[in-house]
């Protein structure tokens, strides 16, 4: 048998990790070498074990999957990153892909599809859940040739929107900027009006498409 794909699995729910590990290790070419319950532990174990593929959830304590992905790309470019999550919201997708993940698969995918995604990432190919791929294609197809008119955003509004695009909650944004989460909500409401958006997701995506912010 060829050499096994060494996988690190990071998710803050032990039951979820156990289920994912079970079907991953049913594949003869995959071995889960370590598990992490938070983002910082994931970074420590990646540094220790240098896995072939890190399978990460997005929302984890201490460091998000997006932050871990960015750290991996800075320090261990040879490690493949597959984000396995329940979130299919556009800002998460954009943030994960901009951070340098090789794949984005939903937890609702069939086990066989997740196993194949691990193999694809290990071989240097991208792995994108069909649901995510369709949304991205529809988003690209829906963009017009010209930029819509919009009212200029203040520096603070851009800061709030950029952090929202990275997946932070209103409370987390408030902590980062030293303001209340109610004030954060007020800034977001103003950006919705200025960008003619009806939701956080739409506002972030419109700001990204207009190159007002970058989701790193």
CA 119 – CA 126 distance, rounded (Å): 10
Which tokens go with 144? 């017009």
Give, for all 216 residues of the chain, the pLDDT tens digit: 458 999 999 999 999 999 999 999 999 999 999 999 999 999 999 999 999 999 999 989 999 998 999 999 899 989 999 999 887 776 777 778 778 888 889 988 899 999 999 998 998 877 887 777 666 655 544 544 444 567 788 889 999 998 988 878 888 899 989 999 899 989 998 998 888 876 777 788 778 877 788 765
Give the chain's count of helices (H) and strands (E): 10, 6
Same fold, 5-140 and 155-209: no
**Domain edges within the chain:** 5-140, 155-209
Looking at the domain covering 5-140, what would its CATH class be? alpha beta
Residue entry with tokens 């994912």 = 20
Determine how many CB atoms are found less than 10 A away from the CB of residue 177: 16
Residues 6 or more apart whose Cβ sits within 8 Å of residue 1: 28, 29
Predicted confidence at residue 145, as pLDDT, reads 45
Q: Does domain 155-209 have CATH number 3.40.50.10090?
A: no
pTM beyond cutoff 0.85: no
């Amino acid at each position: 048998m060829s050499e096994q794909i060494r996988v690190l699995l990071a998710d803050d729910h032990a039951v979820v990790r156990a289920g994912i590990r079970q079907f991953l290790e049913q594949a003869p070419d995959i071995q889960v070498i370590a598990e992490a319950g938070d983002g910082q532990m994931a970074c420590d174990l990646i540094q220790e074990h240098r896995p072939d593929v890190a399978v990460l959830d997005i929302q984890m304590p201490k460091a998000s999957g997006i932050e871990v992905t960015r750290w991996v790309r800075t320090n261990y470019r040879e490690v493949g990153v597959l984000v396995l999550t329940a979130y299919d919201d556009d800002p998460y997708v954009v943030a994960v892909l901009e951070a340098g993940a090789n794949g984005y698969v939903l937890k609702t995918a069939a086990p066989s599809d997740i196993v194949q995604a691990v193999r694809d990432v290990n071989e240097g190919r991208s792995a994108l859940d069909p649901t995510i791929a369709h949304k991205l294609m529809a988003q690209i197809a829906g963009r017009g040739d010209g930029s819509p008119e919009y009212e200029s955003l203040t520096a603070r509004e851009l800061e709030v929107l950029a952090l929202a695009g990275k997946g932070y909650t209103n409370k987390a944004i408030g902590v980062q900027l030293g303001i209340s989460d109610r004030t954060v909500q007020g800034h977001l409401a103003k950006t919705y009006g200025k960008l003619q958006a009806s939701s956080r997701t739409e506002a972030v995506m419109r700001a990204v498409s207009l190159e007002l912010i970058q989701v790193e």
